[in-house]
């Protein structure tokens, strides 16, 4: 039941129809009896600054979840950028303080890693091929290197972005051999799709499935469809597969705590 005391959390995205956070977060609020609701907010890129200015005035707004394509852009409109968001250069959550200040942080990396670990997959010591160099992939790159992946190759359509990300991750985590490279999975233990390829039916598969081997784990960030063409191809090649929803599931509690809408004592 939404009442006058209900705290509001928005999710800003463009497009917004594909997001799964409202289902997952509202189920979490209901399960724990939290007087909060998450609603989708379709915000185009040129609307971000005015929406965030308005957010400062909304006293019952706990905060916003931020997704495609706003994760990088929101940093410039926040009063405080937490450490992980600063490292990654992107944020996926903004908390509104009681004084109307906006504080952002990035949980995609922790969520992705938490999802892997919860399913018994530990990237420590593994060679990882990461596809993508956008907001989600950047967070994942830092999280995998921080966990102790032995090598990380980043492949991206826009190669300069992969190179720039590789340089930043290598400088933060010198023990991990980080470089940019082609999307060739040969020799890797873990292949991660961190691009948005797979959202649409007509999207190409971001690696050549013929090159996948049964020793590999193939992980996805896409949540809708739950099983992308990459996941289906990897499963048919005998790879272990890991779905995009695990990344969000592992983030729910972290996001609720950050936004101040977690159960007491969580
Ligand atoms: N499971 C979860 O909890 C979770 C959390 C966050 C995000 N996600 C999903 O992760 C995906 C990426 O999100 P994001 O925030 O990182 O987006 P983003 O910052 O816009 O990055 C998109 C990435 O996909 C690549 N890409 C897009 N279209 C492409 C194409 N046609 N061919 C080749 N590469 C293409 C981009 O390459 P360029 O750099 O060359 O443009 C970039 O690397 C989204 O689908 C989102 O739904 C899932």
Map out the domains of the chain with their CATH numbers.
Answer: 7-106 (3.40.50.10860), 109-247 (3.40.50.720)
Ligand 1 nearest atom to the CA of residue 92, by list position: 6
Distances (CA, A) of 259 to 37, 86, 98, 255: 12, 18, 11, 6
In 3D space, the residue among 74, 225, 185 whose CA is nearest the CA of residue 135 turns out to be 74
DSSP secondary structure string for all residues of 55-94: HTT-TTEEEEEE-TT-TTGGGGG-SEE-HHHHHHT--SEE
- Give the pLDDT score at 264: 82
Ligand 1 neighbourhood includes 13 CB (under 6 angstroms): no
Angstrom distance (rounded) from CA 162 to CA 12: 26
Beta bridge partners of 61: 8
Q: Determine the distance separating the centroid of ligand 1 and the alpha carbon of 89, expressed in angstroms.
A: 15
Ligand 1 neighbourhood includes 74 CB (under 6 angstroms): no
- Cα-to-chain-centroid distance, residue 155: 17
Q: Hey, which of 11, 134, 192, 193 would you mutate to test ligand 1's pocket, going by the most ligand atoms within 8 Å of its Cβ? A: 134
In 3D space, the residue among 246, 238, 245, 132 whose CA is nearest the CA of residue 192 turns out to be 132
Q: Three-state DSSP class for 246?
A: helix
Minimal-distance CA residue to ligand 1 atom 30: 197
Q: Which sequence positions are flagged as catalytic?
A: 71
In 3D space, the residue among 79, 76, 37, 72 whose CA is nearest the CA of residue 56 turns out to be 79
What Rg value do the Cα atoms of the chain yield, rounded?
A: 18
Ligand 1 neighbourhood includes 222 CB (under 6 angstroms): yes
Q: Hey, which of 105, 132, 251 would you mutate to test ligand 1's pocket, going by the most ligand atoms within 8 Å of its Cβ? A: 132
- Give the pLDDT score at 266: 57
**Which portions of the chain are predicted below pLDDT 50?**
none
Ligand 1 neighbourhood includes 143 CB (under 6 angstroms): no
Question: Residues 19, 128, 198, CA angle at the centre, nearest 5°?
Answer: 30
Q: Are 115 and 250 in contact (CB under 8 A)?
A: yes
Ligand 1 neighbourhood includes 111 CB (under 6 angstroms): yes
Q: Are 88 and 80 in contact (CB under 8 A)?
A: no
> How many CB atoms sit inside 10 A of residue 133's CB?
25
Ligand 1 nearest atom to the CA of residue 71, by list position: 15
Ligand 1 neighbourhood includes 156 CB (under 6 angstroms): yes
- Give the pLDDT score at 149: 98
- As given in the structure block, the two tokens for residue 169 are 């991750």
Label residues 136-172 b or e (16+ Cβ within 10 Å = b): bbbbbbbbbbbbebebbbbbbeeeebbbbbbebbbee
């Amino acid at each position: 039941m939404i009442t006058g005391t209900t705290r509001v959390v928005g999710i800003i995205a463009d497009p917004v129809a594909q997001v799964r956070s409202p289902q997952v977060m509202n189920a979490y609020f209901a399960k724990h009896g939290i007087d909060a609701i998450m609603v989708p907010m379709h915000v185009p890129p040129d609307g971000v600054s005015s929406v965030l200015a308005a957010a400062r005035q909304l006293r019952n707004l706990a905060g916003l979840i931020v997704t495609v394509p706003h994760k990088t852009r929101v940093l410039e409109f926040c009063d405080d950028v937490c450490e992980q968001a600063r490292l990654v250069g992107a944020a996926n959550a903004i908390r509104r303080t009681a004084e109307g200040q906006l504080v952002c942080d990035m949980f995609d990396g922790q969520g992705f890693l938490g999802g892997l670990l919860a399913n018994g997959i530990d990237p420590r010591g593994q060679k990882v091929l990461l596809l993508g160099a956008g907001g989600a992939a950047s967070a994942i790159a830092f999280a995998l290197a921080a966990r102790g992946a032995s090598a990380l190759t980043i492949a991206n359509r826009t190669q300069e972005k992969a190179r720039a990300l590789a340089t930043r991750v290598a400088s933060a985590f010198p023990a991990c051999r980080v470089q940019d490279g082609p999307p060739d999975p040969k020799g890797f233990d873990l292949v991660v799709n961190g691009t948005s390829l797979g959202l649409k039916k007509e999207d190409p598969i971001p690696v050549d499935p013929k090159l996948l081997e049964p020793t590999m784990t193939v992980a996805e960030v896409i949540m809708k469809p739950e099983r992308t063409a990459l996941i289906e191809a990897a499963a048919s090649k005998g790879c272990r597969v890991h779905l995009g929803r695990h990344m969000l599931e592992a983030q729910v509690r972290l996001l609720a705590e950050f936004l101040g809408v977690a159960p007491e004592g969580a």
